[in-house]
Amino acid sequence: MHILKDRILNDSVVLQGNILKVGSFLNHQMDIALFNEIGREFARRFAGVPVTRILTIEASGIGIACITAQYFNVPVVFAKKNRTRNLSDDVYATEVKSYTHNTSYDVIVAKDFIRKGDSVLLIDDFLANGCALEGLADIVEQAHASVAGAGIVIEKGFQDGGSRLRARGIRLESLAVIERMSPEEGVVFAPGPQEL
């Protein structure tokens, strides 16, 4: 997706430790016109796939998921990061490790909002080690629903989240896959299958 890759090349900053700062357009300030292009592209890639619900995780997935939902005409559910030890019986929960913050937290979704038989499209801004997305897939399984696929804006292709999700049988569509990056070299993308 050229418009996205160009934006990453022009407006991101690579820091030491495999950190890519895209806060000017993706996950702090949000360019809604770009989000519409992203939503349209997810709809194109998942055309013909039944989707009854979109599931994302707070906070930075929410905006992309809401704009994308307009192209699927389905509701969005965002999983919450629960930092307390209290879990009620009316939620699905799974533990997710955060390597960024060297901690772990529970991801929860109210049972009312993922139903048996739902076909759930997972949406998130980043895929790196895949822990958050695996947590969302776990919740969908707990609900006896199915994962229609996962739509990711930026995949760090040099981390193993992508291969772990594909090994699990999840159809993964990442709009920009980074092959490698460094403060000196910047971002180098993996070749895309169909470039727009």
Q: Report the residue number, 175 or 177, with the smaller CB distance to a copy of itself.
A: 175
Q: What does the CA dihedral 40, 41, 44, 49 come to, rounded to 10 degrees?
A: -90
Write down the least CB distance from residue 25 to a copy of itself, Å: 8
Of 131, 125, 145, 130, the residue nearest 39 (C-alpha)? 125
Dihedral sign from CA coordinates of 145, 147, 148, 150: positive
Write down the least CB distance from residue 69 to a copy of itself, Å: 5
CA–CA distances in Å: residue 149 to residues 9, 99, 188: 27, 24, 25
Q: Report the residue number, 30 or 190, with the smaller CB distance to a copy of itself.
A: 30
Q: Report the residue number, 63 or 186, with the smaller CB distance to a copy of itself.
A: 63
Write down the least CB distance from residue 32 to a copy of itself, Å: 5
Q: Report the residue number, 84 or 194, with the smaller CB distance to a copy of itself.
A: 84
Yes or no: say if 5 and 179 are a contact pair by the CB < 8 Å rule. Answer: no
Contacting residues for 66 by C-beta, under 8 A, at least 6 apart? 76
Q: Is the preceding omega at residue 59 within 30 degrees of 0, hence cis?
A: yes
Q: Cα–Cα distance between 196 and 20 in angstroms, integer?
A: 23
Write down the least CB distance from residue 188 to a copy of itself, Å: 25
Residue bearing tokens 């229609």 = 148
Residues that bind a copy of itself (CB under 8 A): 23-24, 28-33, 35-36, 58-59, 62-63, 65-67, 69-70, 73-78, 80, 109-110, 112-113
What is the CA angle 63-65-69, rounded to 5? 120
Write down the least CB distance from residue 182 to a copy of itself, Å: 22
Q: Report the residue number, 1 or 66, with the smaller CB distance to a copy of itself.
A: 66
Q: Report the residue number, 123 or 131, with the smaller CB distance to a copy of itself.
A: 123
Write down the least CB distance from residue 137 to a copy of itself, Å: 18
